[in-house]
Amino acid sequence: MKVLVPIKRVIDYNVKARVKPDNSDVDLSNVKMAINPFCEIAVEEAVRLKEAGTATEVIAVSIGDKACQEQLRTALALGADKAIHIESDAKLESLHVAKLLAKIVEQESPELVILGKQSIDSDNNQTGQMLAALTKRAQGTFASKVVVDGNKLQVTREVDGGLQTVSLSLPAVVTTDLRLNEPRYASLPNIMKAKRKPLDVITADSLGVDLAPRIELVKVEEPAKRSGGVMVESVEELVNKLKTEAKVIS
């Protein structure tokens, strides 16, 4: 089974995003970047499927400027076999990304596409579902467990209020939730080995997808700040304040 893992380069999850003074966007200059945490979980799951003998090949793909090759090398160091970089400087929306990925799916015919449920920058939570729709595949979103069972895939999904299990016919698209696995660290020998693994570069334009913007970013602002609160000395004082001042308990 061939597995395709789309990944995204995003701000490191430990870094607080700052809004540009002119409110045009978030300032990403000189900010530490990393592989999106949910994408890392997707890479790990694909590599585990390969180690279990279920997957035969793991292909990582990323869309963006040249810098995202760094994250593709990370995926290769974690165990992906080859990488595809779709080069684009455009500001892409999830729909564009899904359409570009659909072209790769067409070319590579993976039985399984596994990707993060959302990126921690745009917080859209769209790409996997859109890709599934465009490629007419079943989808298993927010997965906390994935079991390959012949030509079916059992996916346990983290839903509001519990866990839902669905059975999908392969080929399928899966998006990862946090508890699917705990990604490994790339070892130094594997990081060295990753440098020699194949990384193909193609341009987004060559895929013939209309990348005209559908959404205009009007402005980006800091969220409303909460006014500083007060410190209380005791539980008694706290309960008093909640009753008489905040009036949220009786």
Site for another protein in 110-139 (CB under 8 A): 118, 120-134, 136-139
Taking CB under 8 A as the rule, does residue 9 contact another protein? no
Residues whose CB falls within 8 Å of the CB of residue 186, separated by 6 or more in sequence, listed in order: 74, 77, 78, 194
Helix, strand or coil for residue 123?
coil
Q: For another protein, which residue of 2, 17, 33, 191 counts as binding (CB under 8 A)? A: 17
- Cα–Cα dist 97/116, whole Å: 13
CB-based contact 169:138 (threshold 8 Å): yes
Q: For another protein, which residue of 36, 71, 141, 181 counts as binding (CB under 8 A)? A: 141
Q: For another protein, which residue of 21, 30, 160, 189 counts as binding (CB under 8 A)? A: 160
Question: What is the full DSSP assignment across 143-174?
Answer: EEEEEEETTEEEEEEEETTEEEEEEEESSEEE
Taking CB under 8 A as the rule, does residue 230 contact another protein? yes
Q: For another protein, which residue of 67, 178, 192, 201 counts as binding (CB under 8 A)? A: 178
CB-based contact 7:58 (threshold 8 Å): no
State in angstroms the smallest separation of the CB of 106 from another protein. Answer: 15
Taking CB under 8 A as the rule, does residue 206 contact another protein? no
Q: Which part of the chain contacts another protein (CB under 8 A), choosing from 52-60, 73-81, 93-101, 186-194?
A: 93-101
State in angstroms the smallest separation of the CB of 155 from another protein. Answer: 9
Taking CB under 8 A as the rule, does residue 214 contact another protein? yes
Taking CB under 8 A as the rule, does residue 22 contact another protein? no
- Tell me which residue of 244, 243, 246 sits closest to 229, measured CA to CA: 246
Helix, strand or coil for residue 50?
helix
State in angstroms the smallest separation of the CB of 195 from another protein. Answer: 31
Cβ closer to another protein: 163 or 192? 163
Q: In the window 38-57, what residues touch another protein (CB under 8 A)?
A: 38
Cβ closer to another protein: 69 or 71? 71
CB-based contact 63:10 (threshold 8 Å): no
CA atoms 87, 89, 90, 91: torsion sign: positive
> How many residues at the interface with another protein, by CB under 8 A?
82
